[in-house]
Amino acid sequence: METTAPPSSLPAPPDGGTGEPGARHVPAVVVGWIQAGPLDEQQRTALKVARRRVRQVLARELPGFAWALPLVRRRDLAPAGVRVEPVDLLDAGAAERAVAGWDFALVVTAADLHARHRSFALATPSQALASAVLSLARLDPSLRDSRRTPAERAETAGRRLAALALHALGHLNGLGHEDDAGAWMHAPKTAADLDRPAHYTASNREELEDELADVADPRMEERARFRRLSGAAFTLRALRHGWADVADTVLQIRPWLFPFQLSKLTTAAFSTLVVLVITAEAWDLGTRQPPTRVAALSVFALVTTSVYLVRKQRLLARRHGRGRTEQQVVTSASIVIALGLGMATTYALLFAATTALAAAFFDGQILAEWAAALGEPVGVRHVLVFAGFVAALGIGVGALGASFEEQTYFRYVAYVDEET
């Protein structure tokens, strides 16, 4: 294991390192690298090349920070020859980051990654965990050109791994994709796309400098006056300080896609909708409820289903670390909010679908019969109350369906920002 200075401000001499009095303090950013599983000699050389190149690029393009890139070898992770689950390596990266006090963790494996939405994945960043998994499996140029020497193969794979790391690091700091093919944040479609000379654009550098300045500041748990706070007070302070990070992380998670990614949730919820819409007793029960009661039922359903899924899928499983940390609070809040928004999206879809079905199939004769049963004319209010009633029950049943989702897949949807 290689060691570097801890993630605090490091002294740096002015004017290129003269060592004269008056040296300023440069904020330090620690990007830890984790070798997951065994690597052959060529892959170890590629990893060495990548770390050296990443350090050079970061020092050149973001010179306002002191960069540390420690390396930890974990041979117990990612056995060779099998496709690995990225979330397992992300968990390992987050645990190492918490223990060592790094700002970010990059997990490098020789194994191929189990992609869910594409035919393959070179990397899977997770802003929520401040970690990314990078795979060497498809970076070897000999897969397409067998004429390369071992040294050339290692050098090319190292450059590609460096480009992949710089791309992932941008995502971990909230950067989106760029159309410019010469930018690190341009989305690569193949490993060969990583061979192009690249750079962070001016807007990328500006965003990174703002984000990294906050990252490099001492964390709340590193300040004596915050260590004395109670758990609740510490959480509230951390949320107030890191609300922008929470918002960025939630946007990266894209919870509005949950209903389309979690098939068991959607199937159970919409099956409930169909049964209730065609059942006269459900209509009679739903339309007789006061709007305030349906609104309260909807809020209750959103809160309880979100809490249930967080616990059932162990999304906030405590990782070994240094006790309570600001990053843990931000991560937990991001996951809870994202899941709540995902369930709210499902609720909105159920509400809209119920309203649309009522408009399409509830003709005048049916409404007249229901009006006679209710003792009052059936209007828009009744339809909206019924839609809210169906949506509230639908997300409740949908949450039970989602609890049967494979835990690895559910965590993949919640944590992985994209498949690069």
pLDDT in tens, 46-73: 999 999 999 999 999 999 999 999 999 9
Encoded amino acid at 59, one letter: A
CB pairs under 8 A, 24+ apart, for 283-290? 283/370, 283/386, 284/370, 284/373, 284/374, 285/389, 286/385, 286/386, 286/389, 286/390, 287/370, 287/374, 287/378, 287/382, 287/385, 287/386, 288/374, 289/385, 289/389
CATH superfamily of 10-216: Collagenase (Catalytic Domain) (3.40.390.10)
Q: Could you give phi then psi for residue 123, rounded to 5 degrees?
A: -155, 155
Q: State CA 118 to chain mean position distance.
A: 17
pLDDT at 16: 37
Q: Which residue has the tokens 């949320």?
A: 239
255-282 average pLDDT score: 90
What's the mean per-residue pLDDT of the chain? 83
Q: Is the pLDDT of residue 346 over 80?
A: yes
6: DSSP letter: -
**Any bridge partners for residue 34, and if so which?**
72, 107
Least confident stretch, 121-135, 144-158, 203-217: 144-158
Element (DSSP H or E) covering residue 123: strand 123-126
**Any bridge partners for residue 84, and if so which?**
113
User: How far is it, in rounded angstroms, from Cα 219 to Cα 223?
Assistant: 7
Structure tokens at 117: 């939405």
Element (DSSP H or E) covering residue 12: strand 10-12
Digit-coded pLDDT (tens) for 162-201: 999 999 999 999 899 998 888 999 988 888 899 888 899 9
Question: Interhelix angle for 86-100 vs 407-415, to 10°?
Answer: 60
Q: Is the pLDDT of residue 320 over 70?
A: no
Torsion over CA: 226, 227, 230, 235 (sign):
positive
Q: Domain extents for the chain? A: 10-216, 231-415
Q: Could you give phi then psi for residue 36, rounded to 5 degrees?
A: -100, 110
User: How far is it, in rounded angstroms, from Cα 249 to Cα 243?
Assistant: 10
User: How far is it, in rounded angstroms, from Cα 98 to Cα 320?
Assistant: 7
What are the DSSP calls for 16-67, one per residue? Answer: TT---SSPEEEPEEEEEEEEES---HHHHHHHHHHHHHHHHHHHHH-TTSEE
Q: In this structure, how many other beta carbons lie within 10 angstroms of the beta carbon of residue 397?
A: 19
Digit-coded pLDDT (tens) for 367-405: 676 666 666 776 788 889 999 999 999 999 999 988 888
Structure tokens at 120: 């393959």
Digit-coded pLDDT (tens) for 286-306: 888 899 999 999 999 999 999
Per-residue exposure over 168-186, b if at least 16 CB sit within 10 Å of its own CB, e if not:
bbbbbbbbeebeeeebbbb
Instruction: Mention every residue, 6+ apart, whose C-beta is less than 8 A from residue 223.
Output: none
Q: Is the pLDDT of residue 2 over 60?
A: no
Q: Which residue has the tokens 């050296």?
A: 52
User: How far is it, in rounded angstroms, from Cα 203 to Cα 31?
Assistant: 22
What are the DSSP calls for 297-356, one per residue? Answer: HHHHHHHHHHHHHHHHTTTTPPPSSSSS-HHHHHHHHHHHHHHHHHHHHHHHHHHHHHHH
Counting every residue written for the chain, the total comes to 420
138: DSSP letter: T
C-alpha atoms less than 13 angstroms from C-alpha of 249 in its C-beta half-sphere: 27
Coil, helix or strand at residue 375: coil
